[in-house]
Chains A and B, each alone.
Chain A
Amino acid sequence: MRVEALLQFALAIAFIVLWVFMPTWSISGANYSISLMPWGYVVEFFGETHVIPPPTVYAVWLFALGAGLLPLIWRRSRYSLYLAALFSVLSISMFMDTILFQQRYLQFHGYTIAPTPNGYIYVSLPTKPVLGLPTYVLLALVILSIFNMVTRARWLGAEAIEDPIVAVERVLKALHIEYSRIVGGVEVGGVRIVGQGGSLWLVRGMGETKEAIEVDLKTAIIEAVKVGLRQPVIGVVDYGED
């Protein structure tokens, strides 16, 4: 599982969880306020509270959730990253549309007038629109999902070319051999290649039968490819297919 995709998922979850506790958008004032929560607009007016749920608000977090989950569920094709990016863009579009709903139907001019038995009362209720913290997380999610789409969720690994593990990975990638990243190295079949203390270690087996030998880069690549080609080739590299 790619760290980049996990990061995208973490941002989506962070957005939704944060949103439960603080509004993404609000119009705040002393006796009148509107807060956009995941379940709709919460309108407070002199102690009265009303919830107004425009349906688009549910799409905001459903699409965000989709944008976070899809790269984890569907890992075979890079199209899942494209779709996730589309979901994140749709999520922010629904969010904007929900704000437009407020502008259109919950328009507030900053005062209220009520009749009294012999006249009327005018109450000035100045308000200030505020964009909440979850909105910035959503924005980050959109940017990250687009970035992941462009880089095939590989921008973290691409930076460490000097690392022999990366060299091993590149060979495996080129040969479409399934491997997974583990701490300090890669795993192909039952074989792990771990970089430790400036040298490469070839680790076979687990627990009792575990054996580790120090190898050079050439040996490590040969061993990894040997094991890799032995395993059945089925939908292999994360987001590898075109």
Chain B
Amino acid sequence: MSDAIDHALRQQRRHALGGLLPGLAVTLAILWACAYGGAFDASRYRDAVSTLLTLAGDSLPPDFSRWSHWGKPLLETLSMSIAGTVIGALVALPMGILSARNLAPVWVCGISQLLLNIIRSIPDLVWGVMFVAAVGFGPLPGILALACHSIGMLGKFYAEIIEHVDPAPGQALRGQGVSAVGVIRYAVLPQILPRLVDVTLYRWEHNLRAATVLGVIGAGGLGLELISAFHLFEYREALALIIVMLILVSFVHGVSSVMRGKLV
């Protein structure tokens, strides 16, 4: 009896020791990555703190004097994030369905997943540059860039969510003669709706920040204001803009929390 217990414990310990080597390898990889980037090079940090303090000092107090010019960029950034997310989600849903191994034939999944990977591997800044060239400056290229990158990301998430759906209700519907499209609509979507909304809202929050960055390449919005302020060494105005963005991000976060709460 106690032999069996000892044996079980020994086995358990051997099992725990087995995890030691991979753990060590991962630790070494992390240390190498930090060293390669120069994170352990003390000389690089010599002036860092004083410079940061000077910058912080230069940007205080925040300067809101140009606030009346920020309304339009603010709305541009917000509209870019909303339109980009919605267009992205609308295209990502059918692509996600086609990429889910439990719904689509294998070869369709392969093509669809490859397409999503290609779309996703192009950074949204590159999409932005391409669309600025294609349709000109303003929020529109920003919307299209966010939509494209969102398709790649959301399509992948949607496919994974769909693959984890309980197949039983769909099977019950097939057994009474409901078509494949009907199964998706009446059995799959109702089950996954909260999770779809969840990742889409998360993507909206992400796109709001991404929309700001896109301003830098000419897609308008608060990002353009922010980068202009930096270029003119108007650090106090830049800080004010960052505070405005913080408020916007918090607002979007609040709205999406309420929407999540309603749908779970």
Q: Do A and B come from one complex?
A: no
Q: B residues near A, CB below 8 A?
A: none
Report A's interface with B, CB cutoff 8 A: none
